[in-house]
Structure 1
């Protein structure tokens, strides 16, 4: 018998495991011992349960983590990153910047470095050969050993170690030109050559990845973590989330003990035996910041973004470009925050009528955002006039 699962059941399960269920503050990992463990309320445990926190906008990553943990602020997240080093900042799925648990970095390096090279859209004169890419990765690994460098310092060191070709300003980027070697920076991170270091003034730094024994089957571990957090899912959905080809993802799925289910009438997979769902329907009001892992990984989009939410809160079908209001498991609005000193003006645009109880929960969420971001929040309910984040 193939188990049939509905959207409310799957939504409640995902919310609970993401630390976004009715009892906020704990990422429940009790459903399966093979999933990411959230042993205790720590930033590291929650980030593991999320399969990484998107950190292209660092303040959004701090909010994503803090809103899942009672009493945690952005200061605690920064301490975990730069003092305790229980978290690391590096390039994760789709080559985008993520915060990951330091203990899981070998798994991520093994998994991400197994992604086959994709189509190179750069013209021939910009591209690098496989040999040149290997030289750059090796140079980054060598020059950052025992060092912390800004991007300019790192660029000078890489060019000195490889050759003038690496420093040629041929890459169009942000209305300027970058040196050739930077097109493989995410590849170097995926191979474990570096992680981000502490900010120096206003400048980002890079440093060597922490020493750890290599992992050989990291892709299987990543699929396991992903399915625990965001299953039921398909190889196609995993490939979209991870940034790899479907054939690569399908091969990983075939190498694991999985169970087929019917999710809203369509075939999908979970870890073998991991079919339990909460008894209660999803409930609660949550504010999720830019690129929160829950909405980026959440598929099918038409279930998570029902009705008007798809047109208002997605950007060309892409999730995360708007901070979203989550009501009873569904995207039900967008929001925006504007900071001035320690004052945080939060505007929420609901796409549905909120009950008095839900409005009280929204007030609590706004207060929690203020606590996490260490500011004094003020709520306005009305239209959000800010467009999507690029």
Structure 2
């Protein structure tokens, strides 16, 4: 006997996701850790953008609050997260992330044969990184010395192509070391980046086993960004599609199929509710905001000209800060700091009404408050290109 599956429309899904991402309204009680956990991580390649993304979602918060939770209270960790890119993750979620990352099939090495390390060398390097950072905060040069001393001169061979010159061979294992839970960022020492071992902050808590961690990650992802397909999940993680498909099949009973605008997608079992109201209002989201990177399908989130203006030619999201209107991308924006002055330029793709212009003023004021500056708004063309 065939049972009709639940159906969710784009306005319903958009409203669900925005509410769960604290974009419908800033949360009056959440802290940085709760927001970062709800987002399944905040992209932090540009740390100031991550600070803005998190603080905008918390009533009255500023970038200083996020920094305190990151560097002083250690409730948030800066490390290599989904897609191997720098993210803020919560310390409490690290056992899940480490367990999941450690059990996702590894992609083939992108490096030439003469640059690659053997499996044994890679394991030696990861162990040396973890041991060297056990009770220390080291710069990249100090960590290089420690790894080479523990493993051998081969680890220090300058063979990796870098922005200006070459990096030592061992550095190709940094993301793996982070995903194994033995490397994360520590506070800068002056202008120098430092690293430490996040296990220092876990008080003896062990990572979850692979299957448990993977199941929990799927459930968190679907809560935030469902309905979604295994392919969406694989793209978000930069993991093999076949593996993601098998993982979703293994969770039968814990997740369920729904009809989402004519396609089959998945949500957590029983999680079919949606807010009564469709999304309303303006939001300014920074570079690589988790919402615009993870929410699919992009054809609905970036309708019409928004795709041309706010996505890269290859369809990548996040490279431009975006103006969202009523739940969809409707423009781009840019901010430039000059002392205390925050110069904000917003380029809407359609003319804004008087009420929308008033709300835009409020949003720009909020951005400036988070960044601890004074706002200055210009509505016009954003001439700055996308972030690499």
TM-score (norm. length: structure 1): 0.95
Q: 1:259, 1:96 → 2: CA distance? A: 30
Alignment of 1:57-206 (within 5 A): 57-206=46-195
What SS does the corresponding residue of 1:199 show, helix, strand or coil? strand
Number of the residue aligned with 2:300: 303
Note if contact 2:155-2:168 (Cα within 8 Å) is conserved in structure 1: yes
Note if contact 2:80-2:86 (Cα within 8 Å) is conserved in structure 1: yes
Number of the residue aligned with 2:42: 53
Number of the residue aligned with 2:215: 220
What SS does the corresponding residue of 1:113 show, helix, strand or coil? helix
Count how many residue pairs are aligned between Structure 1 and Structure 2.
376
Q: 1:148, 1:267 → 2: CA distance? A: 47
Note if contact 2:227-2:266 (Cα within 8 Å) is conserved in structure 1: yes
Note if contact 1:144-1:208 (Cα within 8 Å) is conserved in structure 2: yes
- Per the TM alignment, residue 253 of structure 1 is displaced from its structure 2 partner at its CA by 1.3
- Per the TM alignment, residue 345 of structure 1 is displaced from its structure 2 partner at its CA by 0.3
Moved more, 191-200 or 301-310: 191-200
What SS does the corresponding residue of 1:172 show, helix, strand or coil? strand
What SS does the corresponding residue of 1:142 show, helix, strand or coil? helix
Query: 330, 333, 357: which is aligned to 1:359?
Result: 357
Structure 2 unpaired stretches of 5+: none
Q: 2:166, 2:174 → 1: CA distance? A: 15
Q: 2:360, 2:103 → 1: CA distance? A: 42
Note if contact 1:25-1:67 (Cα within 8 Å) is conserved in structure 2: no
Number of the residue aligned with 1:326: 324
Number of the residue aligned with 1:8: 11
- Per the TM alignment, residue 354 of structure 1 is displaced from its structure 2 partner at its CA by 1.2
- Per the TM alignment, residue 214 of structure 1 is displaced from its structure 2 partner at its CA by 2.1
Note if contact 2:174-2:183 (Cα within 8 Å) is conserved in structure 1: no
1:236-295 C-alpha deviation (Å, 9 max, x unpaired): 000000111012212221232111101010000000000111111111100000000000
Query: 361, 364, 370: which is aligned to 1:372?
Result: 370
- Per the TM alignment, residue 182 of structure 1 is displaced from its structure 2 partner at its CA by 0.6
Structure 1 unpaired stretches of 5+: 27-39
Q: Aligned-residue CA RMSD in angstroms?
A: 0.9
Note if contact 1:48-1:101 (Cα within 8 Å) is conserved in structure 2: yes
Number of the residue aligned with 2:232: 237
Q: 1:135, 1:352 → 2: CA distance? A: 56
Number of the residue aligned with 2:278: 281
TM-score (norm. length: structure 2): 0.95
Q: 2:317, 2:309 → 1: CA distance? A: 11
Number of the residue aligned with 2:337: 339
Note if contact 2:285-2:323 (Cα within 8 Å) is conserved in structure 1: yes
Q: 1:91, 1:115 → 2: CA distance? A: 15
Note if contact 1:337-1:346 (Cα within 8 Å) is conserved in structure 2: yes
Q: 2:331, 2:117 → 1: CA distance? A: 44
Note if contact 2:299-2:307 (Cα within 8 Å) is conserved in structure 1: yes
Note if contact 1:232-1:263 (Cα within 8 Å) is conserved in structure 2: yes
